[in-house]
Amino acid sequence: MVNPVLLIVIPLGGAFAIPLFGFISKHISKYVSLIVALGMTVIVGILIPEVLNNPIVVKIGGFKPPFGINLFVSPFSLFFAGIISLLGFLVSIYAIRYIKEGDIDKYHLLFLLFLAGATGVVLTGDIFNMFVFFEILCISSYALVAYNRDKNGVEAGIKYLIQGSVGSAFILIGIALLYGLCGSLNMADIASQIHSVNSPLLSLALFLFITGFGVEGAIFPLNGWLPDAHSSAPSTISAVLSGFAIEVGLYAVLRIVGTVFGATDILYFLAGLGIFTLLIGELSAFKQNDIKRLLAYSSIGQIGLILFAFSVGTPEGIAGGLFHVLSHALSKGLLFLAAGYMIYKAGSREIGKMKGIGLKMPITSFCFLIAAFSLVGLPPFVGFPSKFMIIKSALLTAQGYFFFLVGAVLLGTVIEISYFFKLLQNIFSRTGEEKIDEAPLGALIPIVILAVIILAVGVYPEIVSKFLHLAAYDFMDRMGYINNILGAL
Amino acid sequence: MEFIENYLYYIASFGLILIGLYIMLVKKNLIKMIIGLSIIDTGVNILLISMGYLKEGTAPIFSHKDLLPSRMVDPVPQALVLTAIVIGVAILALALTLTIVLYRHYGTLNVRKIRDLKW
C-alpha cells in the first residue's frame, strides 16, 4: 500500500530540492517537476483501486482524530487529486520547451508548490490545514501570474493578490468563529456537532467561507481577477489555473457547505449564483478579441455550470458536475496549451491576427478544434456526456426552478457556440501570413494526449462514469464521512 | 460597562477588520491598500487569540502541581495565529515586491491610473 501523504510530500520535497539542484544546473529543475508530477500520477493510479473498496484515513503523526491532522482519501477527493496530477504532468512536459525566459528554477519551484497546495486542499480533513494549503496554492499562483514581470502580468498579479488575500482573511475569520462555536478544527468533528449549535454566528461563518473560497472558485461577484490573471499569465499557468485551481476553490466551497455545515437549504441560492456566473461569463466572452481573454471568460461560464450541477443536490447532479470538472480540465487545459504556441507563432493575442494559422499548424489547430467542440458539448467528445448528465439530472428533480435554470444553461451554450465558431472561423480561414510552422514536439505531445483522452472518454463515457457515481455517493454520504474519520479510533 | 469588559477583544478585532476593509475599498494608493490588508490580518489574529483567551489564565504547561487545566488558556488558537502571521508576512512581502515592479512599469501607484486591463 502506498501512503497517500506522498501526494503532498513529493511535490513539497521536490520544490525544496530545486534550489539545491540549482547549484549544479538550472536546467535540472524542469525535469524535477516532470518526474514529481509523473510520480504523483502513478500514486493516484495505485490508490484508485484501493479507495474504491474503502476510503483511506491517514492520521498524521499518529494523533487520533479529532486531535491531530488527518487526510481523508475518498473517491471524491482522489478524483480531484487525479485531475491535478494528470494535468500537472502534461503541463510540465509542455513547460520544458515553453518556459525559456526568466528564472526557470523559480518557475518550477512555484509550480511544484502550486501542485502541493492543490492536492493538500483536496485531501485534508482539517479545516485550518485546508486554509494553509489553500494559501500555498494562492501565494504561488499570485507569483506565477506575474512570472513574466511584464506590465500586464504584474498588474493582473497584484489585482489577484489583493482580492485573494481579502478572501483568505474572510476564511480565517470563519475558522475563528467556527472554532469558537464548536471547539474543534477537524471537519468531521465539526460536522458531527454543528447541528446542535444554535447561534447566528454560524450563518455568518458560512457566509464568510463561501465568500473566501468563492474568490478562488470564481463565483460570480468575486471573479473580477480571473480574466486578467488567466490572460496575462504564461500559457502553462493559464492552463493549470483554469484546469484545476478554480475547481479546487469550488471543491473547498462544496466541502464546507455540503460536509461541514450540511447546509442543503442554501443550494438553491448557489444554483442561482452558478447560472449568473455562467451567463455573465459567456456574454463577456462573446465580445472579446483577445484569444486568452476569451478562453478565460469561457472558464467563468464553465465554472458557473459546474456550480449549478453541484447545487442540483442529487447524486446524478454531483456526478455530472464531477464529469464536467474532468471535461473542463481536459478541454480548457488543451485550449490554453494550444493557444500558447499559436500566440507565439502569430506574435499577437488578437483573434484577427490569427487568420490562416490553422493550415500552417495543422496538428495544434486540429486539437484546438477538438477541445473547442468538446467544451461546447458536441457529441463524440467528452463535453457532450458531461453536459447531458447535468441537464438530465436537473430535469429529473422535476422542480420549476431548475427547469427555468436549464433554459439559461442552454442559452449559455448557444452563446458559447457562436463565439467559438467565430474563433475557429478566423483560425481556419485561407488568407494570412506565410512562414508559420508547426509547434515543437515537446508541446505537441501533451496536446495530442489531451485530445486523445477527450475523444476516448467522449466515445466511452463508461470508463469514468462508475467512478464518478461512487464519488458522488461518497460526497453525499455525510454520516459516512463523520463515521469514517471519528470511528477510526 | 460590563458588556464592553466582556467583549472588548471582539469589538477591537472586528473594528480593526472593518477599518482595514474600509482602507482597501476607499484608498487609491497601492501601498495604503497593502497597509489595509495588514490591518485586516492583525484584526483576524486578535480575534483568533481572544477565542482561546482566559482572564488571568496560565500557560498550558504543567510546571507545578497546583495548576488546573480549567485555568489554562487554549493553546490551539495561538498555534494557528503563529501560522497565520507567517502567511501574512509572505503575502505582504509578495505584494510589496509586485508593487515595486508595478511602479517601474507605470511610474505611479494610483490604482485608478493603473488600468490597462479591464472588462
**Shortest Cα–Cα distance, B101 to chain A (Å):** 7
Average pLDDT over residues A381-401: 90
Q: Find residues 455-474 of chain A whose CB sits inside 8 Å of chain B.
A: none
Q: How many CB pairs under 8 A join A and B?
A: 89
Asked if B41 lies within 8 A of A180 by C-beta distance, the reply is no
Q: Which residues of B touch A135 (CB under 8 A)?
A: 87, 90-91
* CB atoms closer than 10 angstroms to residue A129: 21
CA atoms within 13 A on the CB side of A324: 31
DSSP string spanning A187-201? Answer: HHHHHHHGGG---HH
Identify any residues that bridge with A58 across adjacent strands, giving them in sequence order: A71
Interface test with B, best of A113, A138, A147, A158 (most B CBs within 10 A): A158
Decide if A257 contacts A266 (C-beta within 8 A): yes
For position A433, what pLDDT does the model report? 60
Decide if B98 contacts A158 (C-beta within 8 A): yes
pLDDT tens for each residue of A420-444 = 998 898 888 877 666 677 878 888 9
Dihedral angle, C-alpha A242, A90, A252, A375, nearest 10 °: 50
Decide if A44 contacts A78 (C-beta within 8 A): yes
Asked if A232 lies within 8 A of B80 by C-beta distance, the reply is no
For residue A151, CA distances in Å to A141, A172, A363, A467 come to: 17, 32, 32, 44
C-alpha cell at A351: 483573434
pLDDT tens for each residue of A262-307 = 888 888 899 999 999 999 999 999 888 889 999 999 999 999 999 9
C-alpha cell at B53: 483567551
pLDDT tens for each residue of A125-143 = 899 999 999 999 999 999 9
The counts of H helices and E strands in chain A are 21, 2
pLDDT tens for each residue of A194-253 = 888 888 889 999 999 999 999 988 888 888 889 999 989 999 999 999 988 999 999 999
ipTM of this predicted complex? 0.93
C-alpha cell at A381: 467528445
Asked if A149 lies within 8 A of B101 by C-beta distance, the reply is yes
Q: Given CB atoms, is A382 within the 8 Å cutoff of chain B?
A: no
Asked if A154 lies within 8 A of B102 by C-beta distance, the reply is yes
For position A353, what pLDDT does the model report? 82
Mean pLDDT for all residues in chain B? 88
Mean pLDDT for all residues in chain A? 90
The residue extents of the domains of chain B are 2-54+70-106
Confidence bin at A103 (pLDDT 50/70/90):
confident
Q: 3-class DSSP state for residue A322?
A: helix
Q: What is the second-level CATH architecture of the domain B2-54+70-106? A: Orthogonal Bundle (1.10)
Q: 3-class DSSP state for residue A142?
A: helix
